[in-house]
Protein backbone atom coordinates (compact mmCIF):
# COMPACT_ATOMS: atom_id res chain seq x y z
CA UNK A 1 0.00 0.00 0.00
CA UNK A 2 1.45 3.37 -1.02
CA UNK A 3 2.05 5.93 1.69
CA UNK A 4 -0.25 8.91 1.64
CA UNK A 5 1.50 12.11 0.75
CA UNK A 6 1.52 15.12 3.05
CA UNK A 7 -0.79 17.79 1.62
CA UNK A 8 0.31 21.45 1.43
CA UNK A 9 -1.97 22.34 4.38
CA UNK A 10 -0.60 19.47 6.44
CA UNK A 11 2.92 20.56 5.52
CA UNK A 12 2.24 24.00 7.06
CA UNK A 13 1.28 22.30 10.32
CA UNK A 14 4.37 20.11 10.20
CA UNK A 15 6.59 23.17 9.69
CA UNK A 16 5.30 24.53 13.02
CA UNK A 17 5.96 21.24 14.81
CA UNK A 18 9.39 20.73 13.24
CA UNK A 19 10.40 24.27 14.22
CA UNK A 20 9.13 23.91 17.78
CA UNK A 21 10.78 20.53 18.48
CA UNK A 22 8.43 19.78 21.35
CA UNK A 23 4.89 18.39 21.59
CA UNK A 24 2.08 20.88 20.97
CA UNK A 25 -1.68 20.78 21.20
CA UNK A 26 -3.74 21.65 18.13
CA UNK A 27 -4.66 24.94 19.84
CA UNK A 28 -0.97 25.78 20.27
CA UNK A 29 -0.25 24.94 16.63
CA UNK A 30 -3.20 27.09 15.54
CA UNK A 31 -1.96 30.00 17.65
CA UNK A 32 1.52 29.80 16.13
CA UNK A 33 0.03 29.71 12.62
CA UNK A 34 -2.37 32.65 13.05
CA UNK A 35 -1.81 35.38 10.53
CA UNK A 36 0.31 33.14 8.31
CA UNK A 37 -2.41 30.86 6.95
CA UNK A 38 -6.13 30.97 6.39
CA UNK A 39 -7.15 27.94 8.44
CA UNK A 40 -9.67 27.50 11.25
CA UNK A 41 -8.78 25.91 14.56
CA UNK A 42 -11.12 23.03 13.71
CA UNK A 43 -9.31 22.46 10.41
CA UNK A 44 -5.96 22.36 12.23
CA UNK A 45 -7.37 19.64 14.52
CA UNK A 46 -8.68 17.64 11.55
CA UNK A 47 -5.37 17.87 9.69
CA UNK A 48 -3.37 16.91 12.77
CA UNK A 49 -5.59 13.86 13.17
CA UNK A 50 -4.91 12.94 9.52
CA UNK A 51 -1.17 13.33 10.09
CA UNK A 52 -1.52 10.97 13.04
CA UNK A 53 -3.36 8.45 10.84
CA UNK A 54 -0.54 8.73 8.28
CA UNK A 55 1.91 7.91 11.13
CA UNK A 56 3.71 11.24 10.75
CA UNK A 57 2.54 12.53 14.13
CA UNK A 58 2.00 10.73 17.40
CA UNK A 59 0.27 12.01 20.51
CA UNK A 60 -0.02 11.64 24.24
CA UNK A 61 -3.16 12.41 26.22
CA UNK A 62 -2.90 15.20 28.78
CA UNK A 63 -2.84 13.77 32.29
CA UNK A 64 -5.06 16.59 33.62
CA UNK A 65 -7.58 16.76 30.77
CA UNK A 66 -8.29 13.64 28.72
CA UNK A 67 -9.74 15.79 25.90
CA UNK A 68 -6.35 17.41 25.22
CA UNK A 69 -3.79 15.71 22.97
CA UNK A 70 -0.13 16.69 22.81
CA UNK A 71 1.13 15.93 19.30
CA UNK A 72 4.76 15.10 18.58
CA UNK A 73 6.70 14.50 15.37
CA UNK A 74 7.34 10.88 14.43
CA UNK A 75 8.91 11.56 11.04
CA UNK A 76 11.74 14.09 10.68
CA UNK A 77 11.54 16.86 8.10
CA UNK A 78 14.47 15.45 6.12
CA UNK A 79 12.69 12.13 5.65
CA UNK A 80 9.49 13.84 4.49
CA UNK A 81 11.44 16.04 2.06
CA UNK A 82 13.17 12.96 0.59
CA UNK A 83 9.82 11.20 0.11
CA UNK A 84 8.25 14.28 -1.47
CA UNK A 85 11.28 14.70 -3.75
CA UNK A 86 11.12 11.07 -4.89
CA UNK A 87 7.41 11.39 -5.66
CA UNK A 88 8.05 14.61 -7.59
CA UNK A 89 10.75 12.95 -9.71
CA UNK A 90 8.55 9.91 -10.30
CA UNK A 91 5.53 12.04 -11.25
CA UNK A 92 7.15 14.62 -13.51
CA UNK A 93 10.35 12.97 -14.77
CA UNK A 94 9.37 9.28 -15.01
CA UNK A 95 11.75 8.55 -12.14
CA UNK A 96 14.77 10.02 -13.94
CA UNK A 97 16.69 11.92 -11.25
CA UNK A 98 19.24 13.28 -13.71
CA UNK A 99 16.57 14.99 -15.81
CA UNK A 100 14.90 16.37 -12.67
CA UNK A 101 18.16 17.81 -11.33
CA UNK A 102 19.07 19.29 -14.71
CA UNK A 103 15.67 20.98 -15.00
CA UNK A 104 15.96 22.44 -11.50
CA UNK A 105 19.54 23.62 -11.99
CA UNK A 106 18.61 25.36 -15.23
CA UNK A 107 15.75 27.15 -13.46
CA UNK A 108 17.90 28.97 -10.87
CA UNK A 109 20.98 31.15 -10.72
CA UNK A 110 23.40 29.61 -8.26
CA UNK A 111 26.08 31.29 -6.17
CA UNK A 112 29.59 29.86 -6.08
CA UNK A 113 28.90 28.63 -2.55
CA UNK A 114 25.77 26.77 -3.70
CA UNK A 115 27.70 25.19 -6.58
CA UNK A 116 30.36 23.97 -4.14
CA UNK A 117 27.66 22.55 -1.89
CA UNK A 118 26.17 20.65 -4.85
CA UNK A 119 29.61 19.35 -5.80
CA UNK A 120 30.01 17.96 -2.27
CA UNK A 121 26.63 16.24 -2.53
CA UNK A 122 27.68 14.69 -5.85
CA UNK A 123 30.96 13.46 -4.32
CA UNK A 124 29.05 11.78 -1.50
CA UNK A 125 26.65 10.26 -4.01
CA UNK A 126 29.60 8.76 -5.92
CA UNK A 127 30.72 7.10 -2.70
CA UNK A 128 27.32 5.42 -2.39
CA UNK A 129 27.53 4.01 -5.88
CA UNK A 130 24.77 6.36 -7.02
CA UNK A 131 22.16 4.61 -4.87
CA UNK A 132 20.12 6.15 -2.12
CA UNK A 133 20.81 4.13 1.06
CA UNK A 134 17.16 4.19 2.15
CA UNK A 135 15.54 3.59 -1.24
CA UNK A 136 13.95 0.20 -1.70
CA UNK A 137 14.29 -1.53 -4.96
Q: What is the domain-level CATH number for residue 25?
A: 1.10.10.10
Does residue 108 sit within a domain? no
Does residue 16 sit within a domain? yes
Does residue 126 sit within a domain? no
107 vs 102: CA distance, rounded Å:
9
Does residue 8 sit within a domain? yes
Query: What pLDDT is recorded for position 5?
Result: 86
Does residue 12 sit within a domain? yes
Residue 3's pLDDT band, with cuts at 50, 70 and 90, is low
Query: What pLDDT is recorded for position 132?
Result: 52
Q: Which residue has the higher pLDDT, 135 or 59?
A: 59
pTM of the complete model beyond 0.85 = no
Does residue 100 sit within a domain? no
Query: What pLDDT is recorded for position 76?
Result: 95
Query: What pLDDT is recorded for position 34?
Result: 84
Does residue 65 sit within a domain? yes
Does residue 123 sit within a domain? no
53 vs 82: CA distance, rounded Å:
20
Domain span at residue 6 reads: 1-95
- Does the structure show a pLDDT above 70 at 137? no
Q: Which residue has the higher pLDDT, 30 or 3?
A: 30
Residues 6+ apart with CB under 8 A from 73: 14, 17, 18, 21, 56, 57, 58
99 vs 79: CA distance, rounded Å:
22
Q: Give the Cβ contact number of residue 115 at 10 Å.
A: 11
Looking at 33-42, 56-65, 113-122, which range is the least confident one? Answer: 33-42
Total number of domains constituting the chain: 1
In whole angstroms, how far apart are CA 30 and each of 16, 19, 68, 133? 9, 14, 14, 36
Residue 55's pLDDT band, with cuts at 50, 70 and 90, is very high
Amino acid sequence: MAKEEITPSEWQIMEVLWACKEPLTSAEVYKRMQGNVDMSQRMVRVLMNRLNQKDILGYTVDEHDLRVYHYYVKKPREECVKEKSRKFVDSYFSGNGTNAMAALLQSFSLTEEQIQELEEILKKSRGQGGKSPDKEG
